[in-house]
Structure 1
Amino acid sequence: MGIFDKFKSSRAAQDKAKKASDAAEKKINERTGGKYEDQIDAGQRQAEERLGMSRDQGRDQDRPGQT
């Protein structure tokens, strides 16, 4: 079992990584004045997808019209 397999099976590790990812995204958006918000969000989504993390489990459900 590799390190990423252990990460994917650990919900606590994923939650911690998600918080760190969100904090980094917020900080970068603050420093760039939101100029690259779309690119930063896309990069964050790709990184989380490759790590097998589910993204926006509750957020998309709260927004009508989102699928």
Structure 2
Amino acid sequence: MAGLADKAKDFLNSDKGETVSDQGLEKAGDFADQRTGGTHDAQIDKGRDLLDGKIGDQ
């Protein structure tokens, strides 16, 4: 199981993984904006940016 975690980490640290994670975070942020009617846009963007800094290219 540790090998799978290492593969996932390696993927997320690649250029392709960074692109995929950015797309996923963008979609999640858009979904949250839609569900809240845009009333928490700034907080959602802040959370998305925080996650983006922790996931992907290090």
Q: TM-score range by the shorter chain?
A: 0.7 to 0.9
2-structure distance, mates of 1:12, 1:51: 13
TM-score (norm 1): 0.65
Give 1:13 deviation, angstroms: 1.0
Q: Which runs of 4+ in 1 moved over 6 A?
A: none
Higher relative contact order (CA 8 A, sep 6+): 2
Which of 13, 27, 49 pairs up with 2:31? 27
More helix as a share of residues: 2
Aligned length: 50
The alignment's TM-score, normalised by the length of structure 2, stands at: 0.73
Unmatched runs of 5 consecutive residues or more in structure 2 = 1-5
Q: Note if contact 2:29-2:44 (Cα within 8 Å) is conserved in structure 1.
A: yes
Root mean square deviation, CA, Å: 1.4
Identity of aligned residues (%): 22
Gaps of 5+ in 1: 54-67
